[in-house]
Chain A
Amino acid sequence: MMDQLFYAAEVIVNGLMTGVMYALVALGFVLIFKASGVFNYAQGVLALFAGLTLVGIMQGQVPFAHLLNAVFGTQLDRFGWTVPALLAIVLTAGVMVLLAILIEKLVLQHLVGQEPIILFMATIGLAYFLEGLGDVMWGADVKNLDVGLPQGISDSIERVTDSWFGYGFFIDRLDIWAALIATALVAALVAFSQYTKQGRAMRAVADDHQAALSVGISLRFIWIMVWSIAGFVALVAGIMWGTKSGVQFSLSLIALKALPVLMLGGFTSIPGAIVGGLIIGVGEKLFEFVMSSPDLAGSWFGFTIGATENWFAYVLALVFLVFRPQGLFGERIIERV
């Protein structure tokens, strides 16, 4: 029984770490939603695109090589150089800013004042487009990403916990780093929106588009800025998840995990995204642990089930929303005829 308790504790700690990763993706959603009212389904694909671009730049891949080879019959593949990780990250951030400008110009500008659900569907279209674009540009094979973050099970934590409790905790070092970086990122974002001029302008736009326009704030600039920041957050998420499990299509699906996180935490709240992420990270790991363990679920129900992580977050969020439609920290929804 003691062993199982320790095991549960380990599951909880790992769940917290996963929750931080979810929160990281969810943050990108919250930022865009707060500043423009756009619910950006494409955030996960942005992370995938950022990851693909980063790997592509680092390895000196020729963009669109696949397409060019097919059209002109050439044999392009690599430029033959490699770019150091830090420079590649800066360049990728530049690409994400460029992407933000293009998205604003080609999509958002034409959809000002539309209903939120239309904007949501437009970002689904954007997600499809970016996914195709990323694949055409950099190829769809699974890529390894290594920007020098430490990986693997942390030996020292295992040793220390083993001497304390007689039970070694297995914790991935990458998860610890991800938690640290996410914390720093959140602190930076909060500081940015609270203490800088642009941050104040961003909050003004979020509150009221018209009023912000009338005091001379450029809506377009703010939107580009917000999408750039979201692109940067996507880049960080892409690096973390890409290092963990390779840059591949499944990266874009983490957006689907971030959605229930947001529903739980409330769409407009940065703390909500973090708390929601932690709740869902811990909840789904613990639920999976209980349901798939023959000693717990097996002895209660007479059967065990597994792979519940796919839907647990959604069902939790769904049940929660029925009782509190605005989420944990969301603003109260007021409707008038």
Chain B
Amino acid sequence: MFYREAGDFKTTYRDDSQTFPIRLDRIGYYVILAVAVLVVPFVINDYWASAVLLPFLIYAIAAIGLNILTGYAGQVSLGTGGFMAVGAYAVYKLMTSFPEVSVVIHILLAGGITALVGIAFGLPSLRIKGFYLAVATLAAQFFLVWLFNKVPWFYNYSASGQINAPTRTVLGWAVTGPAASPAAKYLICLAFVIFSAWVARNLTRGMVGRKWMAIRDMDIAAEIIGVNPLNAKMTAFGISSFFVGIAGALLFAVYLGAAEVTEAFGINKSFLVLFMVIIGGLGSIFGSFAGAAFLVLLPVLLKNVLVGALGWPTDLAAYIELMIVGALIIFFLIVEPHGLARLWLLAKEKLRLWPFPH
């Protein structure tokens, strides 16, 4: 009834292989984009920005990054928190060393540095795979966090061991530091999200993405049909880490403002992003957004319901959140391994046929 593709004819290959082949989807996409850019910045307040929108946008970038590595290239990584830390500390060093350069360039450079680190830790993936690799990536997690904690050069010899984001402006608007307005923070994150999603979507449906998927589905067979595993795995690690690094840089510079590495980038961050990818949907850009939204909103919702409405103690709500997240992971792995993205697709299928069941 509402969701139709009748009369939506495609006459060129270009039309047929676009990201949103159905006109209604396309319009919906532009509407969401327009609302996000033109409406939200004017109605945003501090609570919405810091509790919901900023973490959602930043984790969406991290989830896209991990999804490229885990969902598309099939290399499970538990080192996401460590790579986010690399992005955060890289952007911090750049911001304090070259104050006159634009922060946007710093964030992109931080992504680049993280990509190099990611490639270095991805090298063992040529020999080991599966959960051996998953466990091996924990080496990156622990080593990087320890490095940023122990080597004073990384936090500019500050007494507390913390890093603090100085105020930087984009087009005259402060986006980092205490002076930044919620709208400015939101817009800079949104810009990076749109950039990341656009790049990731187009990479994954091109030749690079198909190589990744071939490696994921069966690496030996992929090698036989001419995919260079070194090339495919290293690009996957590099590009994935690039996005994760940007997410880490934004998390520190724009969202947190100050960070201490063991607290902000511990192993729980790695699991959080992995869960976003699993719940959202492995191998789907939309799934990265859905998973990030779900796991950002769940604690807010539980807090409002359990603590706010029922008056339970905060710690109890935190434990119940752990239980729910754990149970959901198992549930999704058993019932719907492709996550929320697959549920969304099924809903669309049903809507196309509605009101008829078949």
Contact partners of B278 in chain A: CB under 8 A: 121
Q: Does B333 contact A (CB under 8 A)?
A: yes
Q: Are A311 and B316 in contact (CB under 8 A)?
A: no
Min Cβ gap A257→B in Å is: 10
Q: Mark interface residues in A103-133 (1 if CB within 8 Å of B CB, else 0).
A: 0001100110010111011101111111111
Q: Is the interface of A mostly helix, strand, loop or mixed?
A: helix
Contact partners of B325 in chain A: CB under 8 A: 125, 128
Q: Does B171 contact A (CB under 8 A)?
A: no
Residue of B nearest to A125 (CB): B329
Q: Are A39 and B313 in contact (CB under 8 A)?
A: no
Q: Does B48 contact A (CB under 8 A)?
A: no
Q: Are A318 and B329 in contact (CB under 8 A)?
A: no
Residue of A nearest to B143 (CB): A311
Contact partners of A315 in chain B: CB under 8 A: 139, 143
A125 to B313, CA, bound (A): 24
A259 to B149, CA, bound (A): 23
Q: Within residues 226 to 274 of chain B, which ones have a CB less than 8 A from any CB in chain A?
A: 267, 271, 274
Contact partners of B220 in chain A: CB under 8 A: 335-337
Q: Are B221 and A337 in contact (CB under 8 A)?
A: yes
Q: Mark interface residues in B309-350 (1 if CB within 8 Å of A CB, else 0).
A: 011110110011111111111100110010000000000000
Q: Are B150 and A306 in contact (CB under 8 A)?
A: yes
Q: Does B224 contact A (CB under 8 A)?
A: yes
Q: Does A256 contact B (CB under 8 A)?
A: yes
Contact partners of A283 in chain B: CB under 8 A: none
Min Cβ gap B287→A in Å is: 15
Q: Does A219 contact B (CB under 8 A)?
A: no
Min Cβ gap A263→B in Å is: 6
Min Cβ gap B76→A in Å is: 6
Q: Are B334 and A124 in contact (CB under 8 A)?
A: no
Knowing A132-B321, A135-B319, A308-B146, the reply to whether A325 touches B132 (Cβ < 8 A) is yes
Q: Does A321 contact B (CB under 8 A)?
A: yes
Residue of B nearest to A33 (CB): B131
Q: Are A128 and B329 in contact (CB under 8 A)?
A: yes
Knowing A117-B130, A306-B150, the reply to whether A317 touches B139 (Cβ < 8 A) is yes
Q: Does B218 contact A (CB under 8 A)?
A: yes
A325 to B136, CA, bound (A): 11
Knowing A107-B330, A107-B334, A325-B128, the reply to whether A314 touches B323 (Cβ < 8 A) is no
Q: Are B337 and A39 in contact (CB under 8 A)?
A: no
Min Cβ gap A304→B in Å is: 10
The one of A66, A114, A311 that contacts B313, using a Cβ cutoff of 8 Å: A66
Q: Within residues 278 to 336 of chain A, which ones have a CB less than 8 A from any CB in chain B?
A: 305-308, 310-311, 314-315, 317-318, 321-322, 325, 335-336
Range of interface residues on B (Cβ < 8 Å): 35 or more
Q: Are B128 and A322 in contact (CB under 8 A)?
A: yes
Q: Does B138 contact A (CB under 8 A)?
A: yes
Q: Are B326 and A125 in contact (CB under 8 A)?
A: yes
Contact partners of B316 in chain A: CB under 8 A: 66-67, 70, 136
Number of interface residues of A (CB under 8 A): 50
Contact partners of B330 in chain A: CB under 8 A: 106-107, 122, 125-126, 129
Q: Are B326 and A116 in contact (CB under 8 A)?
A: no
Contact partners of A129 in chain B: CB under 8 A: 322-323, 326-327, 330
Q: Does A246 contact B (CB under 8 A)?
A: no
Contact partners of B143 in chain A: CB under 8 A: 311, 314-315
Contact partners of A117 in chain B: CB under 8 A: 76, 130-131, 134
Q: Does B294 contact A (CB under 8 A)?
A: no
Residue of B nearest to A109 (CB): B334
Q: Mark interface residues in B168-211 (1 if CB within 8 Å of A CB, else 0).
A: 00000000000000000000000000000000000000000000
Residue of B nearest to A127 (CB): B326
Residue of A nearest to B218 (CB): A337
Q: Does A56 contact B (CB under 8 A)?
A: no
Knowing A117-B134, A129-B327, A132-B319, the reply to whether A70 touches B313 (Cβ < 8 A) is yes
Contact partners of B286 in chain A: CB under 8 A: none
Q: Does A19 contact B (CB under 8 A)?
A: no
A318 to B132, CA, bound (A): 9
A333 to B324, CA, bound (A): 37
Contact partners of B149 in chain A: CB under 8 A: 307
Q: Within residues 38 to 73 of chain B, which ones have a CB less than 8 A from any CB in chain A?
A: none
A164 to B183, CA, bound (A): 73
The one of A107, A307, A308, A314 that contacts B136, using a Cβ cutoff of 8 Å: A314
Min Cβ gap B168→A in Å is: 32
Q: Are B313 and A337 in contact (CB under 8 A)?
A: no
Knowing A118-B337, A125-B329, A128-B326, the reply to whether A136 touches B319 (Cβ < 8 A) is yes
- Given A70-B316, A317-B135, 4 other A-B contacts at CB below 8 A? A122-B330, A132-B320, A311-B143, A314-B139
Give the interface of A toward B (CB within 8 A): 39, 66-67, 70-71, 106-107, 110-111, 114, 116-118, 120-122, 124-133, 135-136, 140, 256, 259-260, 262-263, 305-308, 310-311, 314-315, 317-318, 321-322, 325, 335-337
Question: What would be 7 A-B contacts, judged by CB atoms less than 8 Å apart?
Answer: A107-B334, A132-B321, A133-B319, A259-B135, A310-B142, A311-B142, A337-B220
Give the interface of B toward A (CB within 8 A): 76, 123-124, 127-128, 130-132, 134-136, 138-139, 142-143, 145-146, 149-150, 218, 220-221, 224, 267, 271, 274-275, 278, 310-313, 315-316, 319-330, 333-334, 337
